[in-house]
């Protein structure tokens, strides 16, 4: 998760009475422990998460009182192995007492017991709200007049969100009212900032593997580096993935001829409720996001269809290709795909991007792979930004 999402998600746990904290910021110790406990064949996100978890256990006075949250998923890639793999590492390194909390929609989140219902809704709202604040951060930061102002407002807004989540009743109506108030307060903070917008900042779409794309330690804070080069980034958020998994649920129910079942009805109600929550939380930012509206997941999937139809491909690769096209339509001057080294999603996308680029008149699309040993990101971004500026100028000229 992104930094803000992890903080908000931990606050959602605290809202239902569980003492939760995000893992501390990743650092050199994360790398050391990740390297110590993994073999090197795993995906880079596995190494970073294992390193972060081991760092928590190393510092815990009583590790047996710690539970680690590691979601799981079914899918074509290695993510589904993360939780069992972590269990194996804990068991073979004297941490048998440490629990892994790995709730899954497949069993209606039974692992959370009676807390499942309030947690699922609170957690969803926390992630939506955190994505909205992150979007405000990225829309404002390239144009700040005093360095650090926008980050400070973002931190204050996250504090506000976490406090609101923790202190509001989990009763759905009251909680939503309080969260919308928190969003309005944050909007006011961002709007009060001085901005220097001169139209010279190319818009760069950022897609890629969800962990590496959102975890600034893993991607060497690529978005920040892009901003240093005078770009504005449009980063694919975490909620996009949740909408995708929901849409997959409907597709599979339809394929199995089970659209008129209790399960389908439950999924439909859940979809309505989630959409209503998202709409309410995003409403205060309607004017701020003008021209930067997130496309619906079905629009993303349709944009991917000529290259990777969802019926024949699965997971992030479909979303990334589709989002790249959506962002091109929204005026992006370039697309960057952030993926871990050897990630199958990144590799498949890299094979598709030349066609997307051709179809969009030479749109610069570049994969950046990360494995913790990056050498010259700064130089590569400098070259890339020249291409993006050139493309932006050509597109501008084409339109006139
Ligand atoms: S998306 Fe890529 S990096 Fe992430 S678990 Fe799957 S294969 Fe590994």
Residue 41 pLDDT level (bands cut at 50, 70, 90)? confident
Residue 21 has pLDDT above 60, yes or no: yes
- Does residue 268 have a pLDDT over 90? yes
Distance (angstroms) between ligand 1 centre and the Cα of 393 equals 35
Residue nearest to atom 7 of ligand 1 (CA): 343
Q: pLDDT-derived band of residue 105, with 50, 70 and 90 as boundaries?
A: low
Residue 141 CA, ligand 1 centroid: distance in Å: 30
Of ligand 1's listed atoms, the one at least distance from the Cα of 212 is: 3
Say what the pLDDT of residue 106 is: 62
Lowest-pLDDT range of 125-129, 294-298, 376-380? 376-380
What is the 84 CA–ligand 1 centroid distance (Å)? 15
Mean pLDDT of the chain: 93
State in Å: Cα 240 to ligand 1 middle. Answer: 17
Percentage of residues in the chain having pLDDT higher than 70: 96
Nearest CA to ligand 1 atom 2: 343
Instruction: State the CB neighbour count (10 A cutoff) for residue 339.
Output: 30
Distance CA 378, CA 221 (A): 11
Residue-wise pLDDT for 217-227, tens only, equals 999 999 999 99
Q: Is the CB of 208 under 6 A from ligand 1?
A: no
Q: State mean pLDDT over 387-394.
A: 95
Q: Is the distance from the beta carbon of residue 370 to the nearest atom of ligand 1 less than 6 Å?
A: no
Look up residue 144 and give its DSSP letter. Answer: B
Strands 365-370 and 334-340: parallel
Q: Give pLDDT, residue 330.
A: 96
Q: 3-state DSSP call for residue 205?
A: strand
The verdict on pTM exceeding 0.85 is yes
User: pLDDT of 307-360, one tens digit each?
Assistant: 999 999 999 999 999 999 999 999 999 999 999 998 999 999 999 999 999 999
For the chain, the farthest-separated pair of C-alpha atoms sits apart, in whole angstroms, at 67
| Ligand 1 binding pocket includes 214 (Cβ within 6 Å) | no
* Contact predicate 186/143, CB 8 Å: no
Q: How many angstroms separate the alpha carbon of residue 346 from the centre of ligand 1?
A: 9
Counting atoms of ligand 1 from 1, which one is nearest the CA of 340?
3
**If you measure from the C-alpha of residue 5 to the centroid of ligand 1, how many angstroms do you get, rounded to a whole number?**
19
Which of ligand 1's atoms lies nearest the C-alpha of 315? Answer: 1
Q: Distance between CA 159 and CA 372 in Å, rounded? A: 30
Say if residue 400's pLDDT is above 60.
no
Taking residues 260-285, report their average pLDDT: 96
Under 8 Å between Cβ of 70 and 82:
yes
Q: Which residue has the tokens 């309030």?
A: 118
Q: pLDDT of 112-142, one tens digit each?
A: 677 788 899 999 999 999 999 999 999 999 9
**Does ligand 1 come within 6 angstroms of the Cβ of 73?**
no
């Amino acid at each position: 998760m992104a930094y803000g999402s992890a903080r908000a998600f931990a606050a959602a746990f605290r809202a239902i009475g569980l003492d939760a904290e995000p893992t501390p910021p990743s650092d050199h110790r994360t790398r050391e422990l990740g390297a110590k406990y993994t073999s090197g064949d795993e995906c880079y996100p596995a190494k970073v998460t294992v390193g972060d978890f081991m760092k928590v256990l190393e510092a815990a006075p009583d590790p047996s009182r710690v539970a680690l949250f590691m979601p799981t998923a079914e899918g074509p890639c290695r993510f589904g192995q993360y939780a069992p793999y972590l269990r194996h590492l804990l068991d073979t390194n004297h941490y048998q007492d440490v629990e892994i909390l790995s709730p899954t929609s497949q069993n209606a989140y039974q692992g959370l017991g009676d807390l499942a219902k309030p947690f699922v809704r609170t957690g969803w709202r926390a992630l939506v709200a955190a994505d909205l604040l992150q979007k405000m951060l990225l829309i404002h930061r390239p144009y700040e007049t005093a360095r650090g102002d926008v980050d400070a407002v973002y931190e204050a807004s996250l504090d506000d969100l976490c406090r609101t989540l923790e202190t509001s009743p989990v009763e759905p109506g009251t909680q939503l009212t309080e969260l919308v108030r928190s969003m309005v307060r944050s909007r006011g903070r961002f709007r009060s900032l001085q901005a220097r917008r001169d139209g010279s900042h190319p818009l760069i779409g950022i897609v890629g593997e969800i962990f590496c794309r959102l975890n600034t330690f893993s991607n060497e804070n690529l978005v920040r580096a892009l901003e240093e080069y005078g770009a504005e980034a449009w980063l694919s958020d975490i909620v996009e993935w949740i909408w995708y998994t929901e849409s997959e649920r409907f597709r599979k129910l339809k394929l199995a001829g089970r659209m008129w079942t209790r399960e389908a009805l439950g999924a439909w109600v859940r979809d309505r409720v989630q959409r209503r929550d998202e709409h309410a939380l995003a409403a205060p930012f309607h004017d701020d996001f003008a021209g930067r509206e997130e496309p619906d997941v079905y629009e993303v999937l349709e944009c991917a269809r000529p290259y990777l139809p969802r019926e024949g491909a699965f997971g992030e690769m479909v979303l990334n290709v589709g989002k790249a096209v959506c962002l091109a339509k929204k005026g992006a001057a370039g697309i960057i795909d952030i993926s871990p080294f050897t990630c199958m999603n990144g590799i498949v996308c890299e094979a598709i991007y030349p066609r997307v680029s051709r179809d969009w008149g030479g749109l610069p699309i570049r994969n950046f792979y990360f494995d913790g040993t990056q050498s010259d990101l700064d130089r590569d971004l400098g070259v890339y930004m020249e291409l993006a500026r050139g493309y932006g100028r050509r597109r501008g000229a084409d339109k006139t």
